[in-house]
Structure formats: structure tokens, C-alpha cells
Structure 1
Amino acid sequence: MAKDNPKWGCVHILGELLKLGQVVFATAIRKLLRRNRIGPAPWRSRLSWKAFLRAQASAIVLTDFLSVDTVLLKRLYVLLHMELATRRVIWFAVTDRPDATWVSQ
């Protein structure tokens, strides 16, 4: 029950078991959850970072600033914006001399 309903704590599980006609103490439920390494309800109901990113990926745009060394031993600087969900580059700019106006565009 705890894995299927992450917001349910010991008391809620106890209530559901009583509805089914099962008499169990809350301490027994707590021990059983601990033995199976199932944390308290507030921790189980929190969204993991991976799940959060997966849910919000369509709305997240990332910015990256990188340098590229060319064959002619010249360094170019790249600033790009990319959609996280599709990994599609939305916008980019390249220069050999980055300054404040170039970065703030």
C-alpha cells in the first residue's frame, strides 16, 4: 500500500486495513515499512530531481557557453540556447572576442 500510495503514512494504512477487517497496530506497520526500507510518507511523496526534470523538460531552455579550438589554433567562443526536451538548438552566436555586449545579446 505504501509503494502504491506514497502520500499515505502509517495511520492512513492502518485505517485502510481496518476497513478491510484486519486488526494491526501502527507500530507493526512502522516496523514493516522500516524493514522493507520504505521511508516516511513525507519523504516518499516528494518528487525526485529526475522526475521533476522529466515533467518540466518541455518548458526548460538551457544556456551554454563553450570554447572551441580550431585547426588553425584559434579559439572561438559559442553561446547557445537549447530546448531540454528536444535537444534542439534555438539560438547560437560565435565570436573570437567575447565581451559584455556579445554575452548580453
Structure 2
Amino acid sequence: MAQAAKNLAMDLEDAGCQARFLIRDRDAKYPALFDIVLADAGIKVVLSGVRMPRMNAHVERFIRSMRAECTDRMPIYNEQHARSVLAEYAEHYNSGRPHRALHLRAPADDPDVIAFFARHIQRHDILGGLIHEYRDTA
């Protein structure tokens, strides 16, 4: 895990990004060196609460959806391809995908607009046809 922290710090530096925080649970697989490496890179490690299994629920739900709907269904060839696929899926998840908590509306939908049945529906493929979105063309 300490090597993973070093790799993360180097990847962020190579990309010209600066992370301020890393949220992690209290699992014993994280040695003290893990936190030290990240602190040296200027990243503050924030621990999740004790006996709070739902604290990371939103992130874990996104990861589960991403795996089930995207990465488990297609081969990933290299890091550049993975970044491209994950960016496209994140855009779809945050703007086009219906969510149960939003009463099957997409997060980008205007809450003040009542959706009516469309007369002309056209399919748009996401991730090369792995996911299909249907939109009104009229």
C-alpha cells in the first residue's frame, strides 16, 4: 500500500494535479507509511468514521454502477483507454443516466420541466454501443 501511495503521488505530480485530501477507511491494510508518503506529497489523509459503513456509500455506489455497467463489460487496453472510458461513463452517469433517487430523472434534467412522451425517439450509443440513451429528436 505504501508503494501505491508513492505511485499516486508521482502520477499526480506527472499530471500537474494537486490533491488536497484523500479519504480512506480504517482498514489495517494501510500502514503508517501510507499516510506519511501522502503527507510528504502535501495530501492530508482523512479517515472515515469508526463503525460507519455507510459513510462512503455514494462513492461505493458509483464504483459499483461503473463496474457493472461499464468496465466489467469491455476490455480495457491501456491507461489512456481506461481514462477515456471512465471520463465518458462519468459524463453519462452525471448528466444522462436516470437515477432512482431522482424519480428516474437524470441529474442534468431541469426539475421545473415536466417530461412528456416524445413523438420521435432516437437512440444514441454511449461507449461504442455498450450503453444506449434514448432522446426526443423533435
Per the TM superposition, whether the score is higher than 0.5 is no
Higher strand share: 1
Q: Which has the larger radius of gyration?
A: 1
TM-score, structure 1 normalization:
0.22
